[in-house]
Amino acid sequence: MKKKLISMLLSGMMAVSMMAGCGNPGAENVQTTQDQTAGDESKTGDQEGTGASSDDAIANLIAATTDPVELTLWCSETEGYQTVMAELVEEFKAQYPDVEFNITIGAESEANCKDDVLADVESAGDLFVFPDDQLLDLVNAGALQSVEATYTYDPTTTNSPATVEAASIDGKLYAYPMTASNGYFLFYNKNYLSEEDVKSWDSLLAAAQAQGKTVGMEVSGAWFMYGFFAGAGLEMKLGDDGKNICNWNAEDTKYTGAAVAQAITDICKNPAMKNCVNEDAQAFALNGEMIADVNGTWATNAFVEAYGDGYAACKLPTFTVDGEQVQMGSFAGYKFLGVNAYSKNPGWAMLLAEFLTSEESQTKIALATGEGPSNIVAASSEEIASAPALAALSEQAEFADLQRVGDNFWAPAATLGQSLVEGSYTDVQKLLDDAVAGITQ
């Protein structure tokens, strides 16, 4: 099912809920969290807009804190994230001058977050940022503290319904929605490329080649390559049994897997095309060589710097399959902030998580990183909604699918992608059959 990433405006006030009890069954810190966050159960219904219950719960948390509060926050290694998170943490600490905090910010690849957390969950960050497709495995491993108690606002009412649903399992919220922009689109330099040029791969590459410039995309990356097969109507998803369902080798569909594979190879054969990762693409753009690149909001600042007054963004181009133009698809998704179920300071970790994913904080994160907020009010602000990258992501959303794939997808798909980029195959059908066999095992 196609999932649009266009934020929905809802009416109503923010609710402050104090619900007794929280935590993952069996986790040693459950009772601690209940004691620190729930407070007096008789106050849970006192939600007249005065903030009394919230203030009491925070006061109880402060009163129960006698030692320095040690917390570790894992977030993206990118400069934008590291900088804005450091600023927000200082703001959080300033709100509680009577409490001594030692909050360490660690640089953690979001793509690797689940694996790094589960490698040693008790030593992992007290809080960590991760993409939505990692939620199920983290919950199944008991690594996430469920959000059954809140201090300052209810995340289920302040964030878009789609992000809340994605952060929940069986109706229970397990993480704090933070962004709604984990997808990809096309950055381009409008001083070299027209709006007509960027509509298709054919015209895009022709324009770049004519000017001695290049276009980038990590075609060999499974995450990006998915867009070609999905756009052509071929399927790749996670089945109910936990195994992948994939028909990229189909021979009886409107566009066969072999035809899509050939289209990818044809694009990569163009002299103006560069198969490159994010960091290399940014470097090529900065030195003036690369005038367009398929990338995501995390790269916004680099392309703004590289392209200057020529900076622009749009949905992904169409590509040619069997002589017809086919719109590229893509993955879409969200980023969440999770609280470690084994945190030694769960109450403070949850309060910090609320602060870092509040409307004001999400706005600051968006302005610092270029990523789109999941908070309804923040996402609807003119300053953010009009940003070229987020407008492009919204335009691409019609053709995007939520990322729901099993672990066996990544390695075989990447191997397939590299072969298609190099054109180093003689039997494309066998190449696809082998890839699908690996993906679905």
Q: How many CA atoms lie within 13 A of 174 on its CB side?
A: 26
The tens digit of pLDDT for each residue in 145-184 reads 999 899 999 999 999 999 999 999 999 999 999 999 999 9
Q: How much is the average pLDDT of 6-27?
A: 30
Residues 249 and 395 in one domain: yes
Residues 312 and 235 in one domain: yes
Tell me which residue range forms the domain holding 159: 65-181+333-383
Quickly state the pLDDT bin for 52 (edges 50, 70, 90): low
Query: What is the amino acid identity at position 325?
Result: Q
The SS3 of residue 369 is helix
Give Cα 105 to chain centroid, integer Å. Answer: 19
pLDDT at 271: 98
Residues 200 and 297 in one domain: yes
- When the pLDDT of each residue in the chain is averaged and rounded to a whole number, the result is 89
Residues 142 and 199 in one domain: no
Give Cα 363 to chain centroid, integer Å. Answer: 16
Provide the 10 A C-beta neighbour count for residue 1.
5
pLDDT at 385: 86
Packing angle, helices 30-38 and 52-63, rounded to 10: 130
pLDDT at 12: 27
Residues 173 and 115 in one domain: yes
pLDDT at 53: 61
Evaluate whether 135 touches 163 at the Cβ level (below 8 Å).
Answer: no
Evaluate whether 213 touches 272 at the Cβ level (below 8 Å).
Answer: yes
Q: How much is the average pLDDT of 200-213?
A: 99
pLDDT at 230: 98
Residues 396 and 352 in one domain: no
Residues 146 and 202 in one domain: no
The tens digit of pLDDT for each residue in 117-138 reads 999 999 999 999 999 999 999 9
Residues 284 and 419 in one domain: yes
Residues 213 and 274 in one domain: yes
- 9 within domain boundaries: no
- 7 within domain boundaries: no
Residues 370 and 318 in one domain: no
Quick one: which of 300, 152, 315 has its CA closest to 231?
A: 315
Last residue of a domain, one of 383, 403, 418: 383
Q: How much is the average pLDDT of 250-261?
A: 99
Residues 129 and 274 in one domain: no
Whether this prediction's pTM lies above 0.75 is answered by yes
CATH number at residue 171: 3.40.190.10
Tokens of 229: 């097969």
pLDDT at 55: 82
The tens digit of pLDDT for each residue in 417-427 reads 999 999 989 99
Residues 106 and 127 in one domain: yes
